[in-house]
């Protein structure tokens, strides 16, 4: 009797398949960790910037020290601002309102830094009227608004 041995072709062994699967998982895992680390770093930078901006916004402080009205033609308003905060600030606009309807009469745009514990005066041409209260709105680059009301 002749024995026939059947030869079968074997596929990849279990060990080789396991190694390939583990390699694929390791590569995918590394990619996911790298992506999430990059994403986390980006979000951390955004949060740090927002925190610094908000903390600096809190540290801004302007005192409107003196407002005086010059007569003559044309009429002027002089306003003196004192930065009593611990950081420098940039004044972006000075708005003047002497109406009761809430509309702004005049906006003077400025880009003027004031260092901590320093004062700065502004001379603004404005046709003011005696005994009519005038509201002043001082806006900084960080969108803080400081107000006062004076009467000539």
Q: Where are the domains of the chain?
A: 10-59, 61-150
Contacts of 76 (CB under 8 A, 6+ apart): 69, 70, 123, 124, 125, 126
137 — phi, psi (to 5°)? -125, 115
Instruction: Please compute Rg for the chain using Cα positions.
Output: 35
Fold of 61-150: Immunoglobulin-like (2.60.40)
Q: Give residue-wise pLDDT tens across range 90-149.
A: 999 999 988 766 667 788 888 889 999 999 999 998 888 888 889 999 999 989 999 999
pLDDT of residue 10: 61
The rounded distance, in Å, linking the Cα atoms of 89 and 27 is 50
Query: What are the counts of helices (DSSP H) followed by strands (DSSP E) for the chain?
Result: 1, 7
Q: Band the pLDDT of 24: cuts 50, 70, 90.
A: very high
What is the secondary structure of 87-132 as a DSSP string?
Answer: S-EEEEEEEEE--SSS--SEEEEEEEEE-TT-EEEEEEE----TT-
pTM tops 0.75, yes or no: no
pLDDT of residue 56: 85
């Amino acid at each position: 009797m002749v024995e026939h041995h059947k030869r079968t072709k074997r596929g990849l062994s279990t060990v080789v398949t396991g190694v390939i699967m583990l390699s694929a998982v390791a590569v995918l895992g590394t990619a996911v960790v790298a992506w999430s680390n990059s994403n986390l770093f980006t979000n951390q930078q955004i949060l740090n910037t927002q925190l610094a901006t908000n903390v600096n916004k809190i540290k801004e402080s302007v005192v409107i020290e003196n407002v005086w009205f010059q007569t003559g033609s044309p009429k002027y308003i002089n306003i003196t601002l004192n930065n009593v905060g611990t950081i420098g600030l940039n004044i972006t606009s000075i708005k003047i309102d002497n109406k009761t309807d809430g509309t702004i009469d005049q906006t003077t745009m400025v880009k003027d830094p004031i260092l901590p514990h320093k004062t700065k005066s502004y001379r603004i041409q404005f046709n003011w009227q005696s005994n009519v209260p005038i509201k002043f709105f001082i806006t900084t680059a960080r969108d803080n608004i400081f107000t006062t009301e004076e009467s000539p």
